[in-house]
Structure 1
Amino acid sequence: MNRLLCLVCFFFSISVSQASVVVGGTRVIFDGTKKTTTVSVQNKDNVTNIVQSWLAIVDETSPAKDSFITTPPLFRLKAGEKGFVRILRTGKPMPEDRESMLWLNIKGIPATDDVSDKNIVQFAINSRIKLIYRPAALKNAIPEEFAQKLQWSNDGRAIKVKNDSPLYMNFSEIFINGKAVPEAWFVAPYSTIRIPVANASPAGKKEITWSVINDYGMSGPKYKAIIQ
């Protein structure tokens, strides 16, 4: 009992320091006619934060995995300050007939030398947003142009979505017979995905309602399709 009481007192005596580095946007569209782009970050914490940035692949087979770097990969951002992370092409060849996508990770860690209270538990928060490379040949293409052309089918075990376009289709919502499909789904250019759902049995028609996320991170128009 005394041990439990000591533990409770210990945890109540601890302060919590949580990094609050905010990324300016929910996605980055990298213009293929450019060599670099920037992402804004702001430290909304009351102490200096160490900001770390890096890229991670979405697809293991993607040739885009070594085609970009972030700079600076590590830097200090004082309380209330704004800064920028640059994303640069490395010169490695990439597909120019379709988009490529990576994860941009930005983590804020409270600087220990700015923390006077030693009884502090620090939390680092990692923000992950999509970096979409749009080749020069597709400069004027937008997701809304192709969203309605997605092809839906039912194989009895899952709902399939075929994307015949050169752009990534990132869904903001999918409904099957009025029931929302959980999780965030996307379908790569010229590819098909399977969405396992409990009510995918072939009996009866299925009404699919969907919308995709536009370049500004907002939900686009809703579309409907009826499949068997």
Structure 2
Amino acid sequence: MNRYANVALALLLTSFTIQVQAGIAIGGTRVIYDGDKKETSASIRNPEKSGVYLVQSWVDSGEQNAKAPFIVTPPLFRINPGEENILRIVRTGGNLPQDRESVFWLNVKSIPATDDSQPRTNVLQVVVKSRLKLFYRPAGLEGQPETAYHQLTAARSGNRLTVSNPTPYYVTLFTLKVDGKEIKEADMVPPKGSVSFTLPTATASSVSWQSISDYGGVSQTESRKL
């Protein structure tokens, strides 16, 4: 790139004002909906000193064109600097299993509000969308969710590793390692179900994992021989 092109690029970049804002803060890393309650909630806070946002929220099932049996109120609201608001999540029906958890997704989109009273400038506004797991937990499930990760089992078949979960709770994996090598695509092990992965080594002999609790904490490490 020659000297004139460099100057032109510099002028182009300086003609824009780019606003990088921290955005809103959501209370918690996941939402638990107890089946014996009429609703659950999540807190939304604007920690900034000047930024104003429009917040849009909804729940989806994670599948295309499939509606989730939950509504969020308010679905759209304005939040000023330093303010906090509460999202109410209410179940609206749906034939959900009562012997295990179901998982959905809470979406929270923060849109920077524009001030029409101020002179318009070239501003790049960033819309941030957060996506949190929403676990519907029926009343009366056996065991405790915080100890479910202890009960996972792991088995090897050829070059595949299968992790099974006999409990009625989802186990969200923080790490899953085979002989110390991490399987990066590991996420959740469904209740009374299993997931399979390709082994990272041909001579796998041990597997270990950590899980994430309802409060976002990381468990101790569980290890098994293969």
Q: Deviations over 1:26-54 (max 9, x none)?
A: 01111111111110011133221010111
1:26 maps to 2:25? no
Structure-2-length-normalised TM-score: 0.88
Q: CA deviation at 1:59?
A: 5.5
Tell me the amino acid that sits aligned with residue 47 of structure 1: G
Give the structure 2 partner of residue 54 of structure 1.
58
Q: How far apart, CA to CA, are the structure 1 residues paired with 2:97 and 2:65?
A: 12
Q: CA deviation at 1:180?
A: 2.0
SS at match of 2:43: strand
Q: CA deviation at 1:125?
A: 1.0
Unaligned 5+ residue runs, structure 2?
none
Q: How far apart, CA to CA, are the structure 2 residues paired with 1:90 and 1:59?
A: 18
Q: CA deviation at 1:61?
A: 11
Aligned sequence identity (%):
36
Q: Which of 129, 134, 139 is residue 126 of structure 1 equivalent to?
A: 129
Give the structure 2 partner of residue 76 of structure 1.
78
Q: CA deviation at 1:96?
A: 0.9
Contact 1:102-1:132 within 8 A present in 2 as well: yes
Q: How far apart, CA to CA, are the structure 1 residues paired with 2:165 and 2:191?
A: 6
Unaligned 5+ residue runs, structure 1?
none
Contact 1:18-1:124 within 8 A present in 2 as well: no
1:85 maps to 2:87? yes
CA RMSD of aligned residues (A): 2.3
1:35 maps to 2:34? no
Q: How far apart, CA to CA, are the structure 2 residues paired with 1:174 and 1:184?
A: 6
Give the structure 2 partner of residue 153 of structure 1.
155
Contact 1:163-1:191 within 8 A present in 2 as well: yes
Q: Are residues 184 and 223 of structure 1, via their aligned partners in 2, closer, same or farther at CA, if it must alter by over 3 Å?
A: same
SS at match of 2:125: strand
Q: State the aligned residue count.
A: 221
Tell me the amino acid that sits aligned with residue 54 of structure 1: W
Give the structure 2 partner of residue 104 of structure 1.
106
After TM superposition, the structure 1 stretch with the greater mean CA deviation from structure 2, 128-137 or 105-114, is 105-114
Q: How far apart, CA to CA, are the structure 1 residues paired with 2:5 and 2:171?
A: 55
Tell me the amino acid that sits aligned with residue 72 of structure 2: T
1:137 maps to 2:140? yes
Tell me the amino acid that sits aligned with residue 115 of structure 2: D
Contact 2:146-2:214 within 8 A present in 1 as well: no
Q: Are residues 131 and 182 of structure 1, via their aligned partners in 2, closer, same or farther at CA, if it must alter by over 3 Å?
A: same
After TM superposition, the structure 1 stretch with the greater mean CA deviation from structure 2, 123-132 or 8-17, is 8-17
Give the structure 2 partner of residue 192 of structure 1.
194
1:226 maps to 2:220? no
SS at match of 2:144: coil
Tell me the amino acid that sits aligned with residue 175 of structure 1: K
Q: Deviations over 1:58-92 (max 9, x none)?
A: 35799xx5321111111111122111111101022
Tell me the amino acid that sits aligned with residue 220 of structure 2: P
Contact 1:18-1:110 within 8 A present in 2 as well: no
Give the structure 2 partner of residue 166 of structure 1.
168
Q: How far apart, CA to CA, are the structure 1 residues paired with 2:119 and 2:72?
A: 32
Q: How far apart, CA to CA, are the structure 1 residues paired with 2:94 and 2:183?
A: 37
Structure-1-length-normalised TM-score: 0.87
